Amino acid sequence: MAERQVERNVFDKVMLPIYAPADFVPVRGKGSRVWDQQGKDYIDFAGGIAVTALGHCHPALVAALHEQGEKLWHTSNIFTNEPALRLAQKLIAATFAERVFFANSGAEANEAAFKLARHYAVTRHSPYKTKIIAFNQAFHGRTFFTVSVGGQPKYSDGFGPKPADIVHVPFNDLAAVEAVMDDHTCAVVLEPVQGEGGVTPATESFLRGVRELCDRHNALLVFDEVQSGMGRTGTLFTYMHYGVVPDILTTAKALGGGFPISAMLTTDEIASVMHVGTHGTTYGGNPLACAVAEAALDIINTPQVLAGIGERHTLFSESLAKINQKYNLFTQVRGMGLLLGAELSPEYHGKARDILYAAATNGLMMLNAGPNILRFAPSLVIEFDEIKEGFSRLENAIESVVKQ
Ligand SMILES: *Cc1c(COP(=O)(O)O)cnc(C)c1O
């Protein structure tokens, strides 16, 4: 306890006060287990925030990092590098895409996507074709353009004038999109499953309808799969589940399995408006990041791993249903694959964080999505007995919160 207090005091003194970290400090992880400074173990149902899709320190990722780490760390984009070329080719082979841009975070991939969508419309169609249609509760990152396209004013207000010509409508409401869609629209931007905003999957008819509206008005459809991509929902990317193909797709979180990397995928035609110097980044396509992401993609994009996500989804759903039978805690459990949200019933509204803290006390890491939703985003290869152990710890945590 004393040690924890010291760490917390240091944090409060030296860090920008934008986070409220748990009062333990993780120091080691293996698979879906994490240990803190005191040696206490935690089952990981969070995976960072849907990042460590193959668990902690997966041997193949460690090997890729180690191997590349002894070869070449960085070149800048004045040169290309072998891991980036290999990863780009594999992403293209696995998706609709013909072109790839690498960056370091979800926000950066989205920033590139939004700039590309605007630039494409402005150069191909008209200087006035700049409207971006986005959704309430959407989350696209923390740069100023991405918080502005995101649909949560608490993240975008208080920083002065915002990028203009961005319209927000309710998610899964096709009529609302149709009402604001016109020929000045350059793009519709959405998460196929809204993550931070509450783990809300798009309906199939909504995605199909938005695709048709985009085609009718020469607007691009941008899927932010930063959280939903790389196997998270049971297919390599979530658009594959719906059979609705975007024009631009971004992915990040699980792409590097914990090593920072993101990618924006698009077609030859759309990419053709970009020229040397139109956009760029110092670190994007870094050899270390690309080598690790290549190893992650090689493992995730296999029938065994993708099929295993469905089996784990079932165990999670059944376990949540069992808890609900006993405590009547949730009004709804939703989500796809291993991105699940359990909405707390009204009497527990505002308690998501309390449950998270109680879970940590009982040796379980998990997430919330707002004050009323528990979120689960474990490793895609979490062991079944780890899931069971995690749920027994969650039940202890809930027991302690319910008693309060
Ligand atoms: C996490 C997230 C982002 C932002 O990614 P960063 O790496 O934090 O910049 C963007 N979009 C979605 C859907 C996300 O879940």
* 148: Cβ contacts below 8 Å, ≥ 6 apart: 156, 162, 163, 166
Span 101-128, mean pLDDT? Answer: 98
Residue owning the nearest CA to atom 10 of ligand 1: 140
Among all chains, which residue has been given the structure tokens 């707002």? Answer: 370
Closest C-alpha to 228, from 264, 252, 211, 258 = 252
Ligand 1 atom with the smallest distance to the CA of 142 is 9
2, pLDDT greater than 70: no
Summarize the confidence of residues 367-393 as an average pLDDT: 97
In order of 144, 232, 267, 339, the CA distances from 228 in angstroms are: 22, 5, 20, 8
Separation of alpha carbons 53 and 46, rounded Å: 10
Rounded to 10°, the helix 59-69/287-300 angle is 150
Q: Which amino acid, one-letter code, is at 118?
A: R
The bridge status of strand 99-103 relative to strand 33-36 is unpaired
Calculate how far, in angstroms, residue 226's C-alpha sits from the geometric centre of ligand 1: 6
- Secondary structure class of 17 (helix, strand, coil): coil
* 110-136 mean pLDDT: 98
State the Cα–Cα distance between residues 266 and 252, nearest whole angstrom.
15
Per-residue confidence (pLDDT) for residue 53, from 0 to 100:
98
pLDDT, mean over the chain: 97
Q: Determine the average pLDDT of the residues in 28-52.
A: 98
The DSSP bridge partners found for residue 190 are 223
Query: CA 237 to CA 46: how far, in whole Å?
Result: 19
Distance 106 CA to ligand 1 centre (A): 4
Ligand 1 pocket mutation pick from 52, 140, 146 by most atoms within 8 angstroms of CB: 140
Give the pLDDT confidence score for residue 1 in this predicted structure.
53
At residue 48, the pLDDT reads: 97
pLDDT the model gives residue 86: 98
Q: Is the pLDDT of residue 14 over 60?
A: yes
Q: How far is the CA of 402 from the centre of ligand 1 (A)?
A: 32
Q: Where are the beta strands (DSSP E) in 248-363?
A: 248-251, 262-266, 330-336, 339-344
Compute the distance from residue 216 Cα to the ligand 1 centre, in Å: 29
Tens of pLDDT, residue by residue over 265-286, are 999 999 999 999 999 999 999 9
Report the amino acid identity of residue 207: L
Do residues 84 and 90 touch, judged by C-beta distance below 8 A? Answer: no
pLDDT reported for residue 320: 98
- Residue ranges of the annotated binding site for pyridoxal 5'-phosphate are 106-107, 139, 224-227, 282
Give the position, in ligand 1's atom list, of the atom nearest the Cα of 107: 9
Give pLDDT, residue 7: 81
Atom nearest to 194 CA in ligand 1: 13
Question: Domain coordinates of the chain in residue numbers?
Answer: 2-58+303-402, 72-300
Strand partners, 220: 187
Q: What residues are annotated to the active site?
A: 139, 224, 253
Is residue 106 within 6 Å of ligand 1 at its C-beta? yes
Tell me how far apart the alpha carbons of residues 187 and 149 are, in angstroms, rounded to a whole number: 11
- pLDDT for 404: 74
Architecture in CATH of 72-300? 3-Layer(aba) Sandwich (3.40)
- The CATH architecture of the domain made up of 2-58+303-402 is Alpha-Beta Complex (3.90)
Confidence of residue 3 (pLDDT cuts 50, 70, 90): low
From the CA of 262, give the closest atom in ligand 1: 7
**Cβ–ligand 1 contact at 264 (below 6 Å):** no
**Cα atoms in the Cβ-side hemisphere of radius 13 Å centred on 60:** 13
CA distance 227 to 140: 10
The reply to whether ligand 1 has any atom less than 6 angstroms from the CB of 200 is no
pLDDT for 6 beyond 90: no
Pinpoint the alpha helices (H) of 196-235.
Answer: 204-216
pLDDT for the residue 403: 82
pTM: 0.97
* Residue 195 beta carbon below 6 angstroms from any ligand 1 atom: yes
Binning pLDDT at 50, 70 and 90, where does residue 5 land?
Answer: confident
For the chain, percent of residues with pLDDT exceeding 70: 99
Residue of the nearest CA to atom 5 in ligand 1? 106
268/92 Cα distance (integer angstroms)? 11
CA distances from 296 to 104, 155, 228, 299 (A): 16, 31, 15, 5
Q: What is the pLDDT of residues 125-152, one digit of tens each?
A: 999 999 999 999 999 999 999 999 999 9
User: What confidence category does residue 232 fall into, taking pLDDT thresholds of 50, 70 and 90?
Assistant: very high
Residue of the nearest CA to atom 6 in ligand 1? 106
Annotated binding residues: 106-107, 139, 142, 224-227, 281-282
Ligand 1 centroid to residue 228 C-alpha, Å = 10
Token duo for residue 393: 């710890």
* Residue 105 near ligand 1, beta carbon < 6 Å: yes
Distance CA(279)–CA(367), nearest Å, equals 34
Q: Confirm or reject: Cβ of 224 under 6 Å from ligand 1.
A: yes
Ligand 1 centroid–CA 11 distance in Å is 24
Q: What is the pLDDT of residues 318-350, one digit of tens each?
A: 999 999 999 999 999 999 999 999 999 999 999
> 226: Cβ below 6 Å to ligand 1?
yes
Residue 343 pLDDT: 98
pLDDT band for 357, please (50, 70, 90 cuts).
very high
